[in-house]
């Protein structure tokens, strides 16, 4: 390819599709069942417009912030993804790119590279865990990540083992040896650049999860690890508090969609939550994360930090999420497309695209800092937002709604007032109250 640089994430995705064997590409697209949530995650950002100013723009703009005590040169973080075989440098390349662009790396416990190598590439790394295995095994994994220098823990709990996609699931072998490579040849041979990148290093993707390796044992295969996870009884809120306590440092609960869960997370003592639906990989028809963000952010107020992940493909999406109450966003597929398209440089390319788009949005809306973005900068259609789990405190926009667009019941107090109408209120104004306190008051 003459010029490896790409100008949008959409182009990175096109190149990733060309370069990767269809089974690897299919594993990144993922999604579940009808794929409505994954579609809504992306599509909902397009429903929100900007309300730009014509003059009075600021000549320089500060995009920096922090999440969980870690500095970010702009409000984007790498969301953990447990995927294998995208690129031989895998998460180490992603981590280097994140370090070079001044942002935090999130490393999945299902990832293909050991936490020690990833932290060496970027000291600002958060280690991600699922609720899987025995408590002793979880303690051992946390100890290892802590020793490696991970600065925080992400506990991802929004997974209910939904399976089956209407467009078909990719076939992925348990391990790759010469025999499986021969079987997979028709899938792999049309993508020689991908294969060559591995062969140049005299290796094949090994499809194991090194961060789940027990002391003195061997790393489980990806499928072995998944099986252990399926056999583990699901966690309670007490388990969440236990995990946070065992970790003893900055702690993010990832996968929150409901107000009641957000308030329970406050009670469990977390540092941050991510409003997330696992990139549309959990229960299909869960609404887009950007629809749920305003009510969750308003409910927890300043008690904990709120980030969002799901559907972010442009710098403008980052601006919209920040304007609606997120301190930062985490990205998943966007950097995976960059990694597949052009390794570390491809991830840097994606981060530069997001940074540039965010800066344009801050410039156009007349701000000097990313912290000044607010609902007044946006045009939000009526019925856009979704408030989940509000119980008796509900009534602001008609409850859960669906993934696909507005329901008749959804009016929208959490949506912004008309753009430019002067109110900066919108979603940030509800009183924050931990759930235990709210429940005690009800009695």
* By CB under 6 A, residue 28 contacts ligand FMN: yes
Q: How far is the CB of 442 from ligand FMN (least distance, A)?
A: 33
* By CB under 6 A, residue 79 contacts ligand FMN: yes
Q: Which of 9, 30, 188, 321 binds ligand FMN (CB under 6 A)?
A: 30
* By CB under 6 A, residue 311 contacts ligand FMN: yes
Contact 28, 83 (CB under 8 A): yes
Distances (CA, A) of 66 to 104, 238, 244, 305: 9, 28, 20, 10
Q: Among residue numbers 151 through 180, which ones bind ligand FMN (CB under 6 A)?
A: 156
Q: Which of 25, 74, 110, 194 binds ligand FMN (CB under 6 A)?
A: 110
Q: Which stretch binds ligand FMN (CB under 6 A): 50-58, 274-282, 362-370, 373-381?
A: 274-282
Q: Which of 331, 340, 415, 416 binds ligand FMN (CB under 6 A)?
A: 331
Whichever of 310 and 338 has its CB closer to ligand FMN, that residue is 310
**Structure-block tokens of residue 400:** 């859960």
* By CB under 6 A, residue 316 contacts ligand FMN: no
Q: Which of 21, 26, 75, 82 binds ligand FMN (CB under 6 A)?
A: 82
Distances (CA, A) of 246 to 114, 138, 180: 21, 9, 41
- Taking the C-alpha atoms of residue 218 and residue 208, their distance in angstroms, rounded to an integer, is 9
* By CB under 6 A, residue 80 contacts ligand FMN: yes
Contact 293, 276 (CB under 8 A): no
* By CB under 6 A, residue 208 contacts ligand FMN: no
Give Cβ neighbours of residue 412 (< 8 Å, ≥ 6 apart).
380, 382, 383, 384, 385, 396, 397
In the chain, what is the straight-line distance between the N-terminal and C-terminal CA atoms, in Å? 67
Please identify which of the residues 57, 87, 191, 278 carries the catalytic annotation. 278
- Taking the C-alpha atoms of residue 47 and residue 87, their distance in angstroms, rounded to an integer, is 34
How do strand 378-379 and strand 49-50 relate by DSSP bridges? antiparallel
**Structure-block tokens of residue 105:** 């790396």
* By CB under 6 A, residue 244 contacts ligand FMN: no
Residue with tokens 């949530």: 37
How do strand 272-275 and strand 251-256 relate by DSSP bridges? parallel
Nearest residue to the partner ligand FMN, using Cβ: 332
Rounded CA Rg of the chain? 21
Q: How far is the CB of 336 from ligand FMN (least distance, A)?
A: 7
Contact pattern from residue 112 through residue 151 relative to ligand FMN, giving x for each residue in contact according to CB under 6 A and a dash for the rest: ----------------x-----------------------
To the query of whether residue 191 is one of the catalytic residues in this protein, the response is no
- Active-site amino acid positions: 278
Interface residues with ligand FMN (CB under 6 A)?
Answer: 27-28, 30, 41, 79-83, 108, 110, 128, 156, 254, 276, 278-279, 281, 309-312, 331-334
């Amino acid at each position: 390819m003459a010029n490896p640089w790409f100008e949008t994430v959409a182009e990175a995705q096109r190149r990733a599709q060309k370069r990767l064997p269809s089974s690897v590409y299919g594993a990144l697209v993922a999604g579940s069942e009808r794929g409505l949530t994954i579609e809504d995650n992306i599509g909902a950002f397009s429903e929100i417009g900007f309300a730009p100013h014509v003059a009075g723009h600021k000549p320089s703009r500060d995009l920096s912030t922090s999440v969980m005590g870690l500095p970010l040169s702009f409000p984007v973080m790498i969301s953990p993804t447990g995927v294998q075989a995208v690129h031989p440098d895998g998460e180490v390349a992603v981590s280097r790119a994140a370090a070079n662009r001044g942002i935090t790396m999130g490393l999945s416990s299902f990832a293909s590279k050991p936490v020690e190598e990833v932290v060496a590439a970027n000291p600002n790394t958060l280690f991600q865990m699922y609720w899987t295995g025995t408590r002793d095994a979880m303690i051992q994994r946390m100890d290892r990540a802590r020793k490696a220098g991970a600065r925080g823990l992400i506990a991802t709990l929004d997974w209910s083992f939904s399976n089956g996609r209407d467009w078909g699931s990719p076939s992925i072998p348990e391990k790759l040896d010469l025999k499986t490579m021969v079987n997979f040849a028709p899938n792999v041979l049309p993508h020689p650049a991908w294969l060559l990148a591995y062969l140049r290093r005299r290796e094949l993707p090994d499809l194991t999860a090194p961060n789940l390796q027990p002391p003195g044992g061997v790393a489980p295969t990806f499928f072995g690890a998944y099986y252990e996870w399926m056999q583990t009884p699901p966690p309670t809120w007490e388990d969440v508090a236990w995990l946070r306590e065992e970790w003893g440092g900055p702690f993010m609960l990832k996968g929150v969609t409901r107000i009641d869960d957000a308030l329970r997370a406050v009670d469990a003592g977390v540092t941050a939550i991510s409003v997330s639906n696992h990139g549309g990989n959990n229960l299909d028809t869960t609404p887009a994360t950007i629809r749920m963000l305003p009510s969750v952010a308003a409910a927890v107020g300043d008690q904990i930090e709120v980030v969002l992940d799901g559907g972010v493909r442009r710098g403008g999406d980052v601006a919209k999420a920040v304007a609606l109450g997120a301190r930062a966003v985490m990205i998943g597929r966007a950097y995976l497309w960059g990694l597949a398209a052009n390794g570390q440089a491809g991830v840097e390319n994606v981060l530069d695209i997001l940074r540039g788009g965010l800066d344009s949005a801050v410039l156009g809306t007349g701000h000097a800092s990313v912290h000044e973005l607010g609902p007044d900068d946006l045009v939000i259609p009526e019925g856009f937002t979704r408030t989940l789990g509000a119980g008796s405190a509900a009534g602001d926009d008609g409850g859960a709604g669906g993934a696909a667009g507005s329901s008749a019941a959804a009016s929208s107090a959490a949506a912004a007032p008309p753009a430019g109408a002067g109110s900066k209120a919108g979603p940030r104004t509800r009183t924050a109250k931990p759930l235990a306190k709210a429940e005690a008051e009800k009695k």
